[in-house]
Structure 1
Amino acid sequence: MNQYQELSWQGLWKNNPAIVQLLGLCPLLAVTMTVINGLGLGLATTLVLIGSNCTVSLVRNWVPNEIRIPIFVMVIAGFVTVVQLLMNAYTFSLYEALGIFIPLIVTNCAIIGRAEAYASKNPVKYAAFDGLMMGLGFTIVLMILGGMRELLGSGTLLSGANLLFGEWASVLTITVFETENPFLLAILPPGAFLGMGFLIAFKNALDKRVESWVVQPEKDKIVQRARVTTES
């Protein structure tokens, strides 16, 4: 398995920042009331991950070891500010819906963790791909959790797509069932904790099932002994 395949496997499944490392749970649990909210926050986080990883990788040989963490945080804060201003300009309604959790990307442990653990030790092309895969893994979990909560709570999927893609995307909303009384447990924060628990349990169960299929029982080893005799 080459480097890119390994980074893809780590970011999307084996070392997923959301359901394995359990990093960045505050925004993940707070804003995933809909698929679009999760997608919006996931894309913002992915852009920051890619930008910060590339920058950290480029300057890694000039950053003193003693002050590397404050410098990494400043780099991340710069990219978060750029993303925040872009969302404010082009997707203002979604920006308002996500609220304080956009600037709080600065404190996301998944981003500073990748900058410290990987980007500061590897070339920029691998650091950029690592940021992309970690961001995609985080975004997928956000969307799945948001989809579960939106479907159970409101009976819809892709509600509010126009907030991210424009007015034309209003037709993307799917109404699975209609209800006058939304399922509040799914919409409120406790539903996010329960949904996250189910996702983690599903991944662990699937990993164990796959491992039981792949790992074969070791066969008994047959040891053959050779006897050497000397003829006189």
Structure 2
Amino acid sequence: MRVLVVEADEKAADALVGRLGRHGHEVDRVDSGRAALNAWEQADLVLLDLELPDLDGVEVCRDIRTRSSTPVITFTAADTALDRVLSLQAGADDCLVKPYCYRELLARINAVMRRTAAPPAADTVLRGRLRIDPRSRRVLLGERVVEVTRKEFDLLYLLASLPETVVSRRDLMAKVWAEDGTNSSRTVDTHVSTLRNKLGDGDWIVTVRGVGYRLGDGTDV
């Protein structure tokens, strides 16, 4: 696995890079937020310290998440809930407080990678011009790549995996947001609205009033 370490403290970065390398990972290291935004696309996992010399680490995390489902684990030296909450709200998959136990970090890395990995038996779904690939977690509409977040992908893939089936908001919440403890149907509606904007014209996601949603065929409404 290729890991990007974003850490301004050279001593801490060298120690972490060395340990990850000894566990068989390919590791790249950068020491600023701008460098991270130029390097994260090559990584399978980003380990991001929130204290960076140029950019707010929370904003770096948010920028990555809006463009990709690449797993992100953040680190904070502040032993308060605020940094952890902000980074999780920005899309981080986990957050550790420094100093942390390296074995705990490895355990959390393994947990995050299991949680975010596409199911090995999952198949690519084709629906007209829409192609949804769970292995690469890519969505294509014709030749255009549709940039989606992790939750948007999970939501779209679930609907696409159940053709002609109306999925209730409750079932969407249970299957897509189960680990987050989110229970507001407004969350589903917001993600559906964002997906519709990204997919463009056509009824790719059809509202069944009073029930939920189903995948459409892209025909103009």
Short-chain TM bin = under 0.3
Tell me which protein shows more helix as a share of its residues: 1
Tell me which protein shows more strand as a share of its residues: 2
TM-score, normalised to structure 2's length? 0.24
Q: Relative contact order (C-alpha < 8 Å, sep 6+): which is higher?
A: 1
TM-score, normalised to structure 1's length? 0.23
